[in-house]
Amino acid sequence: MSKTSVSNQTGSRLCLWVEPWGTDHWMRPGEEFTVVTETEPEESPFNVVVHDQGITVWVNSGNDAEVFDKHGSPVACGHQRPAEDGS
């Protein structure tokens, strides 16, 4: 099992994208999420990319990945997604 943590140290909401599935998980300032997959660490399971739309974690395996908050609770796709009006 492999894990990588992502923290939002900005002053605004930030999107964590998990690819290749395209799931979005929105973090408020100060939040930390962990992406977990069954791939062994020796297999380089993740690539992390920071870009102007947020952070993308690419899972480099055929295994699924799950996202958890700092308390170990699952974070579903669309978690805290901004409303269509931008609020």
Cα 7 from Cα 31, distance rounded (Å) = 6
3-state secondary structure at position 43:
helix
Is 51 within the bounds of a domain? yes
Is 78 within the bounds of a domain? no
Number of domains in the chain: 1
Best CA proximity match to 33, nearest among 41, 25, 23, 43:
25
What pLDDT score does 58 carry? 94
Per-residue pLDDT of the chain (87 residues; tens, 9 = 90+): 899 999 999 999 999 999 999 999 999 999 999 999 987 777 778 999 999 989 999 998 778 999 999 999 999 999 999 987 555
3-state secondary structure at position 42:
helix
Tell me the residue range of the domain where 31 lies: 2-69
The b/e string for 8-19 (b: 16+ C-beta within 10 A; e otherwise) is beeeeebbbbbe
